[in-house]
Amino acid sequence: MATTDYEAVPAVERDDAAPHLGTVVMKFGGTSVADPDKLKHVAGRLVAAREGGSRVVAVLSAMGSTTDELLDLARQVSRRPAPRELDMLISVGERISCALAAMAIHDLGHEAISLTGSQAGIVTDTVHGKAKIVDVRARRIHEALDQDRIVLVAGFQGVSADSFDVTTLGRGGSDTTAVALAAALGAQVCEVYTDVEGVYSADPRLVPNARKLDVLTYEEMLEMASSGARVMATRSIEVARSHNVRLHVRSTFNDAEGTWIREEDGTMLEKALISGVVHQREETVYRVTGANASRLFGKLADASVNVDTIVQTGAEIVFSAPVEDRPDATRALDELGVSWSARDDLGKVSLVGAGMKSHPGVAAKTFATLEAAGIDAPVVSTSPIKIACHVPSADVDRAVQALHEAFELG
Amino acid sequence: MATTDYEAVPAVERDDAAPHLGTVVMKFGGTSVADPDKLKHVAGRLVAAREGGSRVVAVLSAMGSTTDELLDLARQVSRRPAPRELDMLISVGERISCALAAMAIHDLGHEAISLTGSQAGIVTDTVHGKAKIVDVRARRIHEALDQDRIVLVAGFQGVSADSFDVTTLGRGGSDTTAVALAAALGAQVCEVYTDVEGVYSADPRLVPNARKLDVLTYEEMLEMASSGARVMATRSIEVARSHNVRLHVRSTFNDAEGTWIREEDGTMLEKALISGVVHQREETVYRVTGANASRLFGKLADASVNVDTIVQTGAEIVFSAPVEDRPDATRALDELGVSWSARDDLGKVSLVGAGMKSHPGVAAKTFATLEAAGIDAPVVSTSPIKIACHVPSADVDRAVQALHEAFELG
């Protein structure tokens, strides 16, 4: 059977075997299901959605620190646990959450069924620990929905097409499970529940008058997620964009409208110039000379270094990557035999907004704002909808506040 | 495909698709894998067996109190958890043990693979919580053994043939998994590892000079297990007898020979008259009048009451059952509308020995011993290889000691 790579194919692939009207996929992260009381609360939300008339598919993460506790056990028995066995081990956390949620839903008088990634038809490649979804065979989900059940799917995991082994999807895996299911089921919306009310114009802990954003384009959300907004995994937003899955990021704890993420359309033409300011307090910035760019970034990709910004001027290539990737990056650069240096004292502030595409003055105003605040920006990179400035880590908070103020985002 | 009911068919069913020579199934219970250090010890034993030339299949239980902790979570979210979801939940414990053991074996330089009940081909009926094994489809186990791997199978669980749901096997489930696998693989032996060195002529905590028994017949072990010896689940011994699986009950913590359990043969003809004295400190004894026996015990079976001894004399039927089954038994008896009474102040002492079949004097000597000790035995029942006496709970210990002494079992 031909398979669809859900994480790569840029087309809407829908399973037309069953009616789609009114299906909603609801994803809850680990903090939303951290203990039995929180699980019961989530069960109540799922029942409310069902009673509202939707066909409900929920994707749950593992409870609180379950996965970390399992990883700790693994470290106690093995210096370097085999990836296949690690996946077998850590995939149990989401199953526990789903089975418990199904029980809690039964107690509320509704039918529910929990499904493992495998039972839910989440078919992946065999790259244990960071598997990619290649197909969703949703027969059991359709059957259960047709039987008027709330369906609970264990996030973050699947089954390998070749070997029928349990696989896990790596960082942001549950978000990706939810979006892939929403695409396969033709869901009306994929709701991502979190402990904040949506995506904000800046981190409210830094900027007290930060504003909740009503709507973002996929591109804006991608830029924001990859520049420091932690509300959804970048990878899952890419899948949503490829398959045109409407996302709604909202609070687990109240019914307020959150932030919608969808394709740009006529109603969004008048939207604000800038949507928000996102930041990362630290990132490692590398300067490399004497390297061939394609060999350099091929090597870094093989070493699983998550390269973020790349800026090239002349013979020097500058790129940034997460601080925790430094050991892998160091090994890769040394093996390449290039001349390089790195600094760990920079963070990053990014202005994101689809509106800036047609407003060339944004960059100038950004630089003027930072200059007025006495903040140096040694590395700058831009995309059509983003300006990212690396600034000293110590100045990140002030830079966010100054830009949020200057662009009147409050 | 026709299936074999592994727990009912009294015939040796072997899978002849692969070589059998030198396969050993090794079963470790929850106390043997209670923490990472104990798991590493078990990994060492499995590696030693592999290095000794055997093809090794291990069946592991959940670590220590894992299953109880999961059941506690279930109780916190639901007053009456659905059996399907309870199975999904509690089956994760054995998977954790197996994945961790596989990692520990890798660290010892050997290849290993953990398999869920489903991956190991343990096919069951759909009675969640007490499923019966109906088939063992051991293709993946054979493949892994052929690849020179130690195979770790999650005990206590399977997959339902109809619905592909996770099932659990109930009490003694991991023992049953191990014996069924040994039967399907044509293993040389099924080794049951425990925290004592084998089966004893009496509980060594009660009788300091109790002797470890070298060999028992299946029938003796069945009588002992159902009369209070807790070393193996009765049900798994029945499967072993049906499929002629040789059992070896031995210690997790040393290499001493334990107790072999196998078919009676010529070498056992001269075996001791009595093998051992087993006991239970409490059992509920019911007296029922005005009941039809087949209706009575049919009703009790439907109510999941584990009826042990049955004695009928005239219009009165006397039977015993575990103390914890009293609520179910009470409900069943009341629904039948029979006249009944029950007492909770009795325990049971049983003499077991294949040798007593041809020695009619055993009963007389038993009664004389109890009488000399001043112990009343209001209910007595016998089988060809057992004499069971219900005695006051307070006299159980003295009765065991007196009988062990009288029959010179030390």
Give the rounded percent of residues in chain B with a pLDDT score beyond 90: 72
Question: Which one-letter amino acid corresponds to residue B169?
Answer: L
Confidence (pLDDT) at B4:
64
B113 vs chain A: nearest CA distance in angstroms? 7
Residues B38 and B154 in one domain: yes
Of the candidates B40, B81, B114, the beta carbon closest to that of A77 is on B40
Residues B221, B249: Cα–Cα separation, whole Å = 11
In terms of CA atoms, which chain B residue is nearest residue A93?
B92
CA distances to A201, A210, A385 from A388, rounded to whole Å, are: 15, 19, 10
In terms of CA atoms, which chain A residue is nearest residue B38?
A77
- State both tokens at A314: 């002349």
Residues A177 and A66 in one domain: yes
Residues A302 and A400 in one domain: yes
Indicate if the alpha-carbon torsion angle A125, A131, A135, A137 is positive or negative: positive
pLDDT at B174 over 50: yes
pLDDT at A21 over 60: no
Asked if the structure places residue A325 within a domain, the reply is yes
A104/B contact by beta carbon, under 8 A: yes
In terms of CA atoms, which chain B residue is nearest residue A38?
B77
Residue B106: list chain A partners with CB under 8 A. Answer: 78, 80-82, 85
Average pLDDT on B221-239 reads 87
Average pLDDT on A308-328 reads 88
Instruction: Select from A145, A168, A194 the last residue of a domain.
Output: A194
**Alpha-carbon A373 to chain mean position:** 32
Average pLDDT on A324-345 reads 93
For residues B15, B20, B23, B28, the Cα torsion angle rounded to the nearest 10 degrees is: 10
Inspect the interface and report whether the beta carbons of B113 and A84 lie closer than 8 Å: yes
**pLDDT tier, A19 (very low <50, low <70, confident <90, very high otherwise):** very low
Total count of domains within chain A? 2
**pLDDT tier, B271 (very low <50, low <70, confident <90, very high otherwise):** low
In terms of CA atoms, which chain B residue is nearest residue A103?
B81
Q: What is the number of CB-based contacts under 8 A between chain A and chain B?
A: 113
B98/A contact by beta carbon, under 8 A: yes
Give the rounded percent of residues in chain A with a pLDDT score beyond 90: 71
Asked if the structure places residue B5 within a domain, the reply is no
Q: Residue A200: beta bridge partners?
A: A212
B156 vs chain A: nearest CA distance in angstroms? 16
Confidence (pLDDT) at B272:
65
Residues A381, A387: Cα–Cα separation, whole Å = 6
CATH number, domain of B386, equals 3.30.2130.10
CATH number, domain of B90, equals 3.40.1160.10
ipTM: 0.83
Confidence (pLDDT) at B9:
47
Find the angle CA(A164)-CA(A170)-CA(A174) to the nearest 5 degrees. Answer: 90
Of the candidates A85, A112, A116, the beta carbon closest to that of B99 is on A85
Inspect the interface and report whether the beta carbons of A96 and B113 lie closer than 8 Å: no
Residue B129: list chain A partners with CB under 8 A. Answer: none
Residues B163 and B290 in one domain: no
Q: How confident is the model over A287-306, as pLDDT tens digits? A: 999 888 888 998 998 888 88
Asked if the structure places residue B260 within a domain, the reply is no
Q: Which of B172, B200, B178, B199 has its CA nearest to residue B190?
A: B178
DSSP letter assigned to residue B354 = G
Q: How confident is the model over B182-212, as pLDDT tens digits? A: 999 999 999 999 988 999 999 989 999 999 9
B100/A contact by beta carbon, under 8 A: yes
B141/A contact by beta carbon, under 8 A: no
Q: Which of B46, B389, B353, B349 has its CA nearest to residue B199?
A: B353
Between B19 and B284, the more confident residue is B284
Asked if the structure places residue B304 within a domain, the reply is yes
Inspect the interface and report whether the beta carbons of A95 and B89 lie closer than 8 Å: yes
Coil, strand or helix at A139:
helix
Report the range of poorest mean pLDDT among A171-175, A248-252, B313-317: B313-317
Residues B173 and B38 in one domain: yes
Residues A37 and A185 in one domain: yes
Asked if the structure places residue A18 within a domain, the reply is no
pLDDT at B396 over 80: yes
A34/B contact by beta carbon, under 8 A: no
Inspect the interface and report whether the beta carbons of B104 and A164 lie closer than 8 Å: no
Q: How confident is the model over B280-332, as pLDDT tens digits? A: 999 999 999 988 888 899 899 888 888 888 888 778 899 999 998 999 999 99
A335: Cβ–Cβ under 8 A, 6 or more apart, which residues? A299
Instruction: Select from B194, B219, B240 the last residue of a domain.
Output: B194
Q: Which of the residues B42, B71, B77, B137 would you substitute to probe the A interface, choosing the one with the greatest number of A C-beta atoms within 10 Å?
A: B77
Residues B22, B95: Cα–Cα separation, whole Å = 26
Inspect the interface and report whether the beta carbons of A77 and B96 lie closer than 8 Å: no
Residues A188 and A283 in one domain: no
Q: Which of the residues A63, A66, A91, A100 would you substitute to probe the B interface, choosing the one with the greatest number of B C-beta atoms within 10 Å?
A: A100
pLDDT at B384 over 70: yes
Asked if the structure places residue A269 within a domain, the reply is no
Residues B77, A36: Cα–Cα separation, whole Å = 6
Q: In angstroms, what is the C-alpha Rg of chain A?
A: 22
What is the rounded average pLDDT for all residues in chain B? Answer: 90
Helix (H) or strand (E) holding A199: none
Asked if the structure places residue A171 within a domain, the reply is yes
Report whether A266 contacts A319 (CB < 8 A): no
Inspect the interface and report whether the beta carbons of B92 and A96 lie closer than 8 Å: yes
Report whether B161 contacts B123 (CB < 8 A): yes
The domain containing residue B400 runs over which residues?
Answer: 276-406
Helix (H) or strand (E) holding A182: helix A173-185
Confidence (pLDDT) at B270:
52
Report whether B28 contacts B59 (CB < 8 A): yes
Instruction: Select from A194, A224, A253 the last residue of a domain.
Output: A194
Confidence (pLDDT) at B190:
98
Residue B141: list chain A partners with CB under 8 A. Answer: none
pLDDT at A12 over 80: no
pTM above 0.90, yes or no: no
Residues A285, A260: Cα–Cα separation, whole Å = 33
Q: Which of A90, A44, A25, A26 has its CA nearest to residue A63?
A: A90
Residues B186 and B280 in one domain: no
What is the rounded average pLDDT for all residues in chain A? Answer: 90
Burial class (CB in 10 A: 0-12, 13-18, 19+), B170: middle
Residues A227, A382: Cα–Cα separation, whole Å = 12
Asked if the structure places residue A130 within a domain, the reply is yes
Q: Which of A86, A1, A81, A100 has its CA nearest to residue A43?
A: A100
A39 vs chain B: nearest CA distance in angstroms? 8
Residue B166: list chain A partners with CB under 8 A. Answer: 116
pLDDT at A62 over 80: yes
Residues A158 and A305 in one domain: no
Residues B179 and B38 in one domain: yes
